[in-house]
Amino acid sequence: MESHSLKLPEIPSSEQTPLVQRLLQIILEQQKRIEQLEEEVQRLKGVTVKPKVKPSRLEQGRTSQEEAGESGRTKPGPKRSKTPTLKIHHTEIVEAEEVPAGSIFKGYQDYVVQDLVIQPNNTCYRLEQWQRGDGSYVIAKAPGAGHFGPTLVSYILYQYHHQHVTQPLLLEHLLELGVEISAGQLSQILTHGNDELHQEKEAVLAVGIEVSRYLQTDDTGARHEGKNGYCTYIGNELFAWFKSTQSKSRVNFLELLRAEQSDYVINAGALEYMQHRGLPKAKVALLESHSGSFADRAAWEKHLAEVGIKSPRHVTLATEGALMGSLLAHGFPGEMAIVSDDAGQFNVFTHALCWIHAERGISRLIPFNDNHRKAQTWVQTQIWNLYTDLKT
């Protein structure tokens, strides 16, 4: 569908009566509305539309153009005295030139210049070494945790995580400053030594599930370890947890819900899930006769091969059931509500839509007349009034 913009005729200012000006305004508003409706129809038909490019994250926090003056510059705020709060690192006396004879000295007038010193600060530690009687050596222990000091490490972490400087640019910047560091050493500073953080991250999900009655979830495309994958979010108003994986399947989601667990369990809950999902009765009976717990994925896949379950669909359904059994065996609440955007991979336990996605089916309808429009508006009003009442 192509949008054909209406080109208005040139009307001299002398002929633009108030009525003409109002009609021109109405025409422009209608033209804009038509373009919006055309884009909506294209989206509903699955036709690719011109994307809306989001502003750069580097510009976040800056004053918007609407807040700027006519010249494009930001509006000045109230003036304040800045230099009295500055820490002065050096003080120098500057002598006046050509002071006439007989002048009286009246002290000093402060003139503060702010500057920044960014330079390498290398320290060579001379470690004592002593030779024992048996020929072995006793060597003094070097201070710190490596060849890069805490200030440099903090600067690297700040530039990468807070300023969003990429590793190649950060490496180039450090080399220009005179820091002798390789790409591998830089990567190690950014990625290694975070075991405690990862353990805490996994514990957040386990505790979050324990104290929650419902979980919100969604996933999105993400690049991880040089490959295209997905990032899944699980959380609610109490916590937020993220994990990057190479899949967005229901098996992947159930694996994520297990938090710190890694086993696969065949129990009553697992068998009920398999039956509900349509796994053939013969396969369900086969798994029931060999029920139990399996330590990890390798042990589970070996078990499936031994009992003769090889069809990809049957393997998937059985694996989903075993993961469901693991969750229930470790105390995952069977009445937990999973709130999502209606994506199939999240359809487990009590599955619900968020209010935005529940109402979206109504808002996508295209009314053909006033009665349709009134009916659509009435239903949308009822939905959001109910939402407000429930929140209250």
pLDDT of res. 103:
93
**Are residue 172 and residue 287 in the same domain, yes or no?**
no
Angle made by CA atoms 143, 148, 151, in degrees to the nearest 5? 95
Asked whether residue 13 carries a pLDDT value surpassing 80, the answer given is no
Decide if 340 contacts 346 (C-beta within 8 A): yes
- The structure tokens 């697992």 sit at 270
The full 3-state SS of 176-245, as one line of letters, equals HHCCCCCHHHHHHHHHCCCHHHHHHHHHHHHHHHHCCCEEEEEEEEEEECCEEEEEEEEECCCCEEEEEE
**Are residue 167 and residue 280 in the same domain, yes or no?**
no
**Are residue 242 and residue 283 in the same domain, yes or no?**
no
pLDDT of res. 60:
55
**Are residue 222 and residue 341 in the same domain, yes or no?**
yes
Contacts of 68 (CB under 8 A, 6+ apart): 74, 75
Report d(CA 271, CA 324) in Å as an integer. Answer: 9
Token digits of residue 104: 């009286």
Classify residue 140: in a domain, yes or no: no
Asked whether residue 174 carries a pLDDT value surpassing 60, the answer given is yes
Report d(CA 316, CA 300) in Å as an integer. Answer: 12
Report d(CA 326, CA 44) in Å as an integer. Answer: 40
**Are residue 349 and residue 379 in the same domain, yes or no?**
no
Classify residue 169: in a domain, yes or no: yes
Classify residue 80: in a domain, yes or no: no
- Its domain, for residue 186, covers 147-191
Decide if 265 contacts 318 (C-beta within 8 A): no
Classify residue 212: in a domain, yes or no: yes
Residue 291, burial from CB neighbour count under 10 angstroms (0-12, 13-18, 19+)? middle
**Are residue 251 and residue 273 in the same domain, yes or no?**
no
pLDDT of res. 57:
58
**Are residue 313 and residue 342 in the same domain, yes or no?**
no
pLDDT digits 0-9 by tens, 324-366: 999 999 999 989 999 998 889 999 999 998 888 888 888 888 8
Asked whether residue 66 carries a pLDDT value surpassing 60, the answer given is no
Ramachandran angles phi, psi of 93, nearest 5°: -95, 125
Asked whether residue 81 carries a pLDDT value surpassing 90, the answer given is no
Report d(CA 195, CA 273) in Å as an integer. Answer: 35
Classify residue 9: in a domain, yes or no: no
pLDDT band, residue 85 (cuts 50/70/90): confident
Report d(CA 376, CA 383) in Å as an integer. Answer: 11
In sequence order, which ranges of 233-369 are alpha helices (DSSP H)?
A: 250-257, 268-277, 281-289, 297-307, 312-329, 355-363
**Are residue 340 and residue 212 in the same domain, yes or no?**
yes
pLDDT band, residue 155 (cuts 50/70/90): very high
Classify residue 104: in a domain, yes or no: no
C-alpha distance from residue 176 to each of 14, 119, 184, 186 (Å): 65, 10, 17, 15
Classify residue 75: in a domain, yes or no: no
Report d(CA 110, CA 86) in Å as an integer. Answer: 13
Count of domains observed in the chain: 4
Token digits of residue 299: 């042990």
* Percentage of residues of the chain with pLDDT beyond 70: 88
**Are residue 223 and residue 339 in the same domain, yes or no?**
yes
**Are residue 221 and residue 338 in the same domain, yes or no?**
yes
* SS3 state of residue 191: helix
62 vs 147 pLDDT, higher one: 147
Classify residue 220: in a domain, yes or no: yes
**Are residue 383 and residue 241 in the same domain, yes or no?**
no
**Are residue 171 and residue 266 in the same domain, yes or no?**
no
